[in-house]
Amino acid sequence: MYTIRQCAKSAAIILMIIGVAIVMSGVSNVYAFPGLGPDIPAQDFILTASKTLIEMQPGMSGSLVIWATLYCPNATSSFVNHAWSNYNFACDTTILPIVTLQIVGGCPAGAYCVLDRTQIMILPVGPIASEAASNFFIYSFSLSGSSVSTITVVGTDQFGHTHSVQFGVAIGYFG
């Protein structure tokens, strides 16, 4: 006859097997903080542009700043197990995050688009988020005409996270 203790033991074993199966199947997230438990996810980042539109005259140049902001999982809301929430985990200082930037399209005809840095390193010094910047420059060689383009810059880090930012370029005679 099954007792309550035997039922509880069987249920615990079944739950443990299900948990191991989920972890082994790769359903769980990738973690960049070994030894600190499964509640701290791998680092991630976002890309933003300092403005949404570059307006420039034909034959002139323009620029904006692309920011890569590192996500540091030290906010209480980022923890599943709130037993860890009393600790203030900032970015993992043993990992130097590197974000590789690439212009994937949209540079207007008759213009030259360039990033001053195609690889930016985000130094994890702040307790909430750290940022790094790359300047985007555009030069127009045409002295006539007008065009409007949407430029896309994509960033990829060593953990496989990929994000992009879009902004517009308007070349013409603006008064």
Kindly indicate whether the domain formed by 31-171 is annotated with CATH number 2.60.40.2310. Answer: yes
How big is the CA angle at 97 (ends 91 and 99), to the nearest 5 degrees? 135
Model confidence at 15: pLDDT above 80: no
What mean pLDDT value characterizes the chain?
A: 75
How far apart are alpha carbons 74 and 92 in whole angstroms? 10
Is the predicted pLDDT of residue 164 greater than 90, yes or no? Answer: yes
List pLDDT tens digits, range 93-139: 566 788 999 999 999 988 999 999 999 987 665 555 578 899 999 99
- The confidence score (pLDDT) of residue 82 equals 40
pLDDT at residue 13 in the model: 62
Give the global pTM.
Answer: 0.66
